Amino acid sequence: LRREEGELVERGSLFRRFPEHQDTVLEVLEADRATDREEDPGTLDLSATRLGRYEFAAGKPLGEGAFGKVYQAWDARLRRHVAIKVPRPNKLDKDIFLREARAVSQLKHRNICTVYDVDEDDGRPYLVMELIEGPKLSERLSRQRLSTEEAVRIVYEVALALDEAHAQGVVHRDLKPAN
């Protein structure tokens, strides 16, 4: 998260903070450096304006993370807006992607978006999810500080969702206010 906000994170500070996980820290930092050296392969070519049966509403992603980008699209068959997660090709193992999609699709909780579909278009897999309307928490936090009561309520709701996911063996791995 610090890196996404433009803050430089020193290797030494991570080693001091997580001395028992130095190998993992090195792996993550090396993967980050490798990703930085590449052109951004996670950018979806929206000149086609569709992926499978889904028509993209706009070219700008709703969000992005280390795994990929999320776009808004229109499902003409069911006549609803959806969110489509497109993994970066360099972060992709199709078997793992499908296994994770299946696991997440089994989660049923008011604070977890519903997975509608997983598919492939021209060899590129994607995940179709419920589109949650409204501002991201990160946008609200950039405008104003939350009251203690509201912060506690949000943390409580997130904790309930994480508890449900963890009970089903699912770990989020990219939890942040922008999601």
- Structure tokens that stand for 133 in this block: 């309307």
Interstrand relation of 68-75 and 63-64 (parallel, antiparallel or unpaired)? antiparallel
Q: Which one of 32, 40, 93, 174 is the catalytic residue? A: 174
Distance between CA atoms of residues 85 and 130, nearest Å: 11
Contact assessment for residue 71 and residue 84, using Cβ atoms and an 8 Å cutoff: yes
Distance between CA atoms of residues 1 and 174, nearest Å: 9
Interstrand relation of 115-121 and 124-130 (parallel, antiparallel or unpaired)? antiparallel
- Structure tokens that stand for 121 in this block: 């278009």
Interstrand relation of 80-87 and 115-121 (parallel, antiparallel or unpaired)? unpaired
Catalytic site includes residue 174: yes
Distance between CA atoms of residues 110 and 107, nearest Å: 10
Q: Which residues are catalytic?
A: 174
